[in-house]
Chain A
Amino acid sequence: MSPEFVIGLVIILIGTVASAFPRPKKYLVQLINLEIPAWGLLLVMLSYDEALALLTFGGVTALSTFIYVRVIQKKEAAA
C-alpha cells in the first residue's frame, strides 16, 4: 500500500467532516472546505498512475469551483 493512498484517505476523511460541519455556518466557508477532499481524491487517484484521469479531475474541480462561486454570488444578490 503506497503512502499516497493512506494520506489521501486521511485527507478525504478530514475534509468530509470539515465540509459537513462548517464552523462559521456560511456558504463560502463550506466551499473552501470542499476543496480539501478534492485534493485527497487526487492523491488516491495518483496511486493508480493514470495521467489523463488526473488532468481531467483537476480541470473539472476548478470549473465546479467557478460554478459554485457564481451560484453563491447570485444567491447573495437576490437575498
Chain B
Amino acid sequence: MSRQQVEMTVNGRVHAGEVEPRLTLVDFLREDCALTGTHTGCEQGVCGACTVLVDGEPMRSCLMFAVQADGAQVTTIEGIGGGREGLTPVQQAFMDNHGLQCGYCTPGFIVTVEAFLRDTPSPSDEQIREALSGNVCRCTGYQGIIAAVRQAADQLAAEARS
C-alpha cells in the first residue's frame, strides 16, 4: 500500500511520518507517537473512549484517518494536566467524586468534558447529562462523573467571576 506523508502537532510537539492512508488517527497516536493514553473502545465512534481534540474540537480518533489530521493541532489526554501544574479542575473533580474506576474510558470523558465546559461555561444538569451521553462508562454508573462535571463547572464559573 502506498504511504503518505503526514505531519501534525500533538500536544505542542510536531510529529511527522509516512503512514498508510488507512491508518486511523488513534493508531497513529498510540503507535507512532507512543501516546497510549487514548484508548480504543468500539472502533465505530459510539463509545467515545478514543476522543481527542482536533483543532480544538472533540473528535473520535477511531473514525478519522491519520492523514485527515495532516496539519492539525491535536490534543490528547497526555496534553491535559498532569505536568508540573498537576491535575486540571476537571481531572481533580473526577478524582474527588470517584468519577472513574477502571479508568479505561476516562481519557475520552476528560477530553469531552474539557471541551464541553470551555464551550458551555455554566451548564444545567440537563446539559451535563446530554454532553456526557456520547461516552460510555461501564464501571461507575455515571454518578461520580455527573457530580464531577457539576463540581468542575461550578469551580470554573467561580474562577471566571473572580
Chain B binds chain A: no
Interface residues of B (CB under 8 A from A): none
